Amino acid sequence: MLYTRKGDSGTSGLFGTKERFSKDSPIYEALGTLDELNSLLGVCHAYTLREKEGGVMADVIRNVQERLFVVQAELAGADKCITQTQVDELEKTVDRYEAQIENPHAFIIPGATGLSALLDYARAVSRRAERVVIGAHAPHEASAPTRAYLNRLSSLLYALARHVAGKAGAQEPAPTYKEV
């Protein structure tokens, strides 16, 4: 059965506690945003599998998806958290992709390719996820490595988006900042 009726009153529970919290609590905003990000990364993963040489990037995205489940479990009170080793691995992956892109610090207008646009969208959602996780002040706050992982994730998604666009030979225009 996919429903329990326990949340009909507008409350929900967390792992390891019998206490109920309002569904508009910051912890549920954080958990929901992480779920949204993971779902969006699922779309990116599916598109990546269609790309030439997409297998490695698909593995990177799937790994991030797995890590996001750990972050959600940690916030919900499970005895799980991101490790410093996982943060270090993410940084190495960012560095590897950053080395392959032409101007890694440029501002660009997203949308050069379908997949790069989705990765930029995921980057924006990952930044929101980081903000709401930090602001949740949950009964079980995110550990320092978890906060670091979420902070690095937007860099990874930016690098992946630029990498995809570059491999496709797509031009990524910089904003002109002029009035249209």
pLDDT in 10s for each residue of the chain, 180 residues: 776 776 677 766 666 667 777 667 888 899 999 999 999 999 999 999 887 667 899 999 999 999 999 999 999 888 999 999 999 999 999 999 999 987 767 799 999 999 999 999 999 999 999 999 998 876 678 999 999 999 999 999 999 999 999 999 999 999 989 887
Q: Note the pLDDT of residue 19.
A: 73
Residue 75's nearest CA partner among 151, 154, 146 is 146
Q: Note the pLDDT of residue 23.
A: 67
Q: Output b/e per residue, 60-86; b: 16+ Cβ within 10 A.
A: bbeebbebbebbbbbbbbeebbbeeeb
Residue 79's nearest CA partner among 149, 150, 15 is 15
Q: Note the pLDDT of residue 11.
A: 66
Domain 21-167: CATH superfamily, name plus number = Cobalamin adenosyltransferase-like (1.20.1200.10)
Angle of helix 144-167 relative to helix 54-76, nearest 10 degrees, comes to: 160
Q: Note the pLDDT of residue 53.
A: 65
Q: Note the pLDDT of residue 157.
A: 98
Length of the chain: 180
**What is the rounded distance in angstroms from the CA atom of residue 91 to the CA atom of residue 101?**
16
